[in-house]
Chains A and B, each alone.
Chain A
Amino acid sequence: MKFPHKTQLWLLVLVAWLTQGLQAQGQSFGLSVQPSTNQVVGTNSITYNIYLTNLAGYFLPSPAVTNSFSAQVTLASATSSQGSNYIASGNLIFGLGPMTNGGTATMTLTVIPISSGVLTNTVVAGALQATNVAGTNVVTEIYSADAELGIRLAGPIQHIYASDLTAYTITVTNSGPDAAPDVLLTNTLPASVLLISASKSYTASGSSQLFDLGAMHSGDAITVQISIQPTNANILAFTAGIGAPGILDANLANNTASTNLLISAYPASQLIAFTNSAQTINYQNGLMEQLVQVVNVGANDVPAVRVVVSGLTNRLVNAVGTNNGNPFVVYPATLAAGAKLDLLLQYINNSRTPFPFTNGQLNPFAVTVPDWTPPAVSQTSTNVNLRRIIQLSDKRMLIEFPATPGRAYTVVYSDNLAFTNARIAPPSVVAPANAVQWIDYGPPATISAVTNSPRRFYRVYQNP
């Protein structure tokens, strides 16, 4: 059975409103309604226990209680302590029969909602002989699913400087028992941040991006990576929220997440950089190589050194990031005041010949020490057996390992076999062949030239 709700509802509301004024003249009924719940998921039923007392002061021959619903429901059952019930004009009416003065009647009504949203049951008690009526509205939230959506933000590990290209990750989960339909992720960027790309398609809305993630089943997790470029040094607040229509989400606290990212300016330093060798082709790896030297001419040590190379038309292969579109390499250790440092830059140049390059393209900065701690061996199931480790005639170490062309691999090095203080040798290398010959040429890939290290151990794992 279905309950329509249009004209009848307005009439009943009007009656209920009038009741408020009439009650001031003396109540005819005592009416209370106790719903079994005020939140329902899916097609679970709602039971209303209705209690009516005759307060008219005299016998009432035929009082009635009308239940009018704001949306269609299915009647499961209806019982009363006296009288009977019937449907009229889409309303369920309890016709209670004779009630003595002070007499009480109990009614129980169970319905099943059909659609999600707000369901209001307007209950009105009245009788022809009564001077007024009594009424109340019972509101129940109807949800389509019981889903527990959650969202997390994970910022970059490395310290960020203004105009760095960086990224953060948004992870959306559904840990509830039901699927959540039409999950919508809203990501909001603070001012002074350029959105470079996102790993999923989105619709822009001001400073926000709306990601339609579709349905998320129980246990699903979706990761979205947002690549950004902060333009100014600042503390920036990144926020994201998740939601889905018509779901019961018991924990709304984890439907939003935020994180603050510290965007720094380069600390003051007095570093100069200049080329220290000619460009030469390395036939061992097919790359153009050139040494540059960085000198700390200031009075203070710098914790680490970044050299941003501008004006390039060839790719800087051993860059670990970009700043304002310019690639940079990082020396991950202190450069003492007055000390100098050689860094090897590796380029791809399809002519395999030197290309024009000036010292003005080298921009050295002091930076904090990057965190290049590798995952533990036990955490990487893709560790690769090295085929050879040999020392080349120029004293560099060559590591050869089998590879799948096109897959990325990361080299880890340490000065002890337990790898207790291991570091990644960035960047990861994409295999150009079925074997990779990776060369430890010293900084910036590793913290020092092999000849300056008493021992060096290597391991390699394939990136996920």
Chain B
Amino acid sequence: MPKPKRQFAKCFRRPYAWGAVCCLAGFVPSAKAQPGIYNDADSSKFVRIPSDADDWTRHFRVGALVGFNLSADFKMQGGFGISGNDPANGIFADGYVRTDQTGNARGHTSYWGYNSASQYDAVSHTLKMTALSDFNASGGGHDDKNAIPGFELAYGGNLWYWKHARVGWELGFGLLSVNISDNRTVDGTITQSVYTFDTGNIDVPGAPYQGGSSGQGTLISATGNKLPGPTTTSGTVSGSHSLDVSLYTIRLGPSFYWDVTERIGVSLGAGPAIGVASGKYSYNETITTSGSSAHSYGKIDGADVVYGGYVNATVMYHFNDSGRNADVYVSAQYMPMGNAGFGGGGREGTLNLGGQIYLSAGLNWPF
């Protein structure tokens, strides 16, 4: 029997050839039908394939992958600091009163601003500024994510054959880039300090106003009067919490292959799997009380190793062109794994991997 497959297989021993394979995902080469490959096709039992056999005993697969049934749980619990406010330097949640270029001559400054008309009390001629220092919040939510794109690679070999069936093994690798966000608003208790600034008899510019540091423009007292406190008030925490995770999975297990017809084959596989979830938990929160708000944002990097198993089924369609073989395949895989956790300091995100279902399609090369 001629062995054109050798040339085909050799090319995959070169590094650049593997890259070319990835680029060709989705390309369907024309090929002739796969030839009969084993010597004892009429055996009544599975026959061991010799280790030195060179007829279609191995395969390599590359394809696109879509993950389904992934979800994440987000949870906030406890107290959290707010870093943006700095009342000692005149930075408040709803404005600023800072030192202008005159050095606040005569105790007044032009370098001030405020957000809302509600901060101004025309009777007492004062402007109220609020500094938010920390908040307590409890809550969270569950968010599903479907149709997450990725890709997979697989390499396998056959150990026994019987008529049109073969039993072997397969090693698979998959990569998914998972991004799940939660935008729920939770209630919170905010600790705040309130300061008032004397505006004198000026007519305060309309809100929002952002004065400059030049010393020109409307002047107010540069010294605030801190009201008793700090006090707590109810508010909300809105914004987004998100998980940005790269999920790498590796599976290894036995496979059973059956040539249903000359062109169509079916493969089944099952076995253990291990996953590595690497990424970050990020948050961008807006803490809002009546009349003022502050931002809190950050990220927590992390990685987690998860374990599980898989079972899959694959249908292949054979092409053969002048002895060059390839299969187009579609596959479904169920890969339950443990959950991966990210976060810290009261903010937690859990990536739920217990019900992952992958659908994939691509090219398979027997060699």
Shortest beta-carbon distance from B218 to chain A in Å: 6
CA distance A353 to B201 in the complex (A): 18
> Are the CB atoms of A432 and B206 closer together than 8 Å?
no
Verify if A452 is at the interface (C-beta below 8 Å from B).
Answer: no
Q: B210 at the A/B interface (Cβ < 8 Å)? A: yes
Chain B residues with Cβ below 8 Å from A285 are: 216-218
- Is A434 among interface residues, defined by CB-CB distance under 8 A? yes
Assign chain A's interface to a size class: 20 to 34
Q: Tell me the residues in window 237-288 of chain A with beta carbons closer than 8 Å to chain B beta carbons.
A: 281, 283-287
Task: Establish whether residues A283 and B102, one from each chain, have CB atoms under 8 Å apart when the complex forms.
Answer: no
Contact A437 B211, beta carbon cutoff 8 Å: no
Given A286-B110, A286-B219, A405-B212, A351–B105 Cβ distance below 8 Å?
yes
Contacts of B220 in A (CB 8 A): 283
Chain B residues positioned under 8 Å from A437 (CB to CB) = 203, 205, 217-218
Which residues in A have their C-beta under 8 angstroms from that of B105? Answer: 350-353
Q: Which residues of A contact B205 (CB under 8 A)?
A: 400, 433, 435, 437
Distance from B97 Cβ to chain A, minimum over Cβ atoms (Å): 14
Mask, A385-423, CB within 8 Å of B = 1, is 001101011000010100001000000000000000000
B232 to chain A, nearest CB (A): 33
CB atoms of A387 and B201 under 8 A apart: no
In the bound complex, what is the Cα–Cα distance between A283 and B105 (angstroms)? Answer: 12
Decide if B200 touches A348 in the complex (CB within 8 Å). Answer: no
Q: Point out the residue from B103, B106, B201, B212 that lies within 8 Å of A432, measured CB to CB.
A: B212
Residues of A within 8 A of B211 (CB): 432-433
A284→B203 contact, CB < 8 A: yes
The answer to whether A393 touches B201, judged by C-beta atoms less than 8 angstroms apart, is yes
Contact with B along A424-461 (1 / 0, CB 8 A): 00000000111101000000000000000000000000
Q: Which of B103, B202, B212 contacts A283 (CB 8 A)?
A: B202
Supposing A434-B209, A434-B210 touch, asked if A283 and B216 sit within 8 A by C-beta, the answer is no
Residue of B nearest to A287 (CB): B216
Nearest chain-A residue to B207 (Cβ)?
Answer: A435
Asked if B118 is at the interface of the complex by the 8 Å CB criterion, the answer is: no
Partner among B106, B201, B203, B214 whose Cβ is within 8 Å of the Cβ of A281:
B106
Q: Mark A215-248, 1 if CB is under 8 A from B, else 0.
A: 0000000000000000000000000000000000
Assembled-state Cα–Cα distance A142/B102 (Å): 65
Q: Are A348 and B206 in contact (CB under 8 A)?
A: no
Cβ–Cβ contact A352 & B110, under 8 A? no
Smallest beta-carbon distance A33→chain B, Å: 73
Contacts of A283 in B (CB 8 A): 108, 200-202, 218-220
B101 at the binding interface (Cβ < 8 Å)? yes
Answer whether residue B215 sits at the interface, using C-beta atoms and an 8 A cutoff: yes
A353 contacts across to B, CB distance below 8 A: 105-106
User: Which residues of chain A come closer than 8 Å to B214, judged between CB atoms?
Assistant: 432
Q: In the complex, which of the residues B103, B202, B215 contacts A284, with contact meaning CB atoms closer than 8 Å?
A: B202
Q: Which residues of B contact A388 (CB under 8 A)?
A: 206
Q: How many Å lie between the Cα of A387 and that of B204 in the bound state? A: 13
* A434: B residues at CB distance < 8 A: 208-210
Chain B positions within 8 Å of A286 at CB level: 110, 215-219
Please encode chain B, from 101 to 115, with 1 for each CB lying within 8 Å of some chain A CB and 0 for all others.
Answer: 111011010100100
Give A316-354 as 1s and 0s: 1 = Cβ < 8 Å from B's Cβ atoms.
010000000000000000000000000000001011110
Separation in Å of the A192 CB from the closest CB of chain B? 37
Chain B contacts for A392, CB-based, 8 A? 203
Give, as a whole number of angstroms, the nearest-CB distance from A316 to chain B.
14
Known contacts A286-B216, A348-B216, A432-B211; decide if A387 and B110 are in contact (CB<8 Å).
no
Query: What is the CB-to-nearest-CB distance from B156 to chain A, in angstroms, rounded to a whole number?
Result: 67
User: Are B212's CB and A400's CB within 8 A?
Assistant: no
A438 to chain B, nearest CB (A): 11
Docked Cα-Cα span, A390 to B122, in Å, equals 15
- Cα(A286)–Cα(B219), bound, Å: 6
Q: Cα distance A429–B253 when bound, in Å?
A: 79
Cβ of A433: which chain B residues have Cβ within 8 Å of it?
Answer: 110, 113, 205, 209-212, 217-218
Whether B206 pairs with A387 at a CB distance below 8 angstroms is yes
Measured CA separation A251–B150 after assembly (Å) = 71
Whole-angstrom CA separation of A217 from B108 in the bound complex: 54
For the complex with contacts A398-B203, A400-B205, A433-B209, 17 further pairs of A-B residues with Cβ separation under 8 Å are A283-B219, A283-B220, A284-B203, A285-B217, A287-B216, A350-B103, A350-B105, A350-B215, A351-B106, A352-B102, A388-B206, A433-B113, A433-B218, A434-B208, A434-B210, A437-B217, A437-B218
- Residues of B at the A interface (CB closer than 8 Å) are 101-103, 105-106, 108, 110, 113, 200-203, 205-206, 208-212, 214-220
30 contacts between A and B (CB under 8 A): A281-B219, A283-B108, A283-B202, A283-B219, A284-B202, A284-B203, A284-B218, A285-B216, A285-B217, A286-B110, A286-B215, A286-B217, A286-B219, A287-B216, A348-B216, A350-B103, A350-B105, A351-B106, A352-B105, A353-B105, A390-B203, A400-B206, A432-B211, A432-B216, A433-B110, A433-B113, A433-B205, A433-B211, A433-B218, A437-B205
A interface residues (Cβ-Cβ under 8 A, vs B) = 281, 283-287, 317, 348, 350-353, 387-388, 390, 392-393, 398, 400, 405, 432-435, 437
Top 6 A-B pairs ranked by shortest CB distance? A432-B217, A352-B105, A432-B216, A433-B211, A350-B102, A352-B106
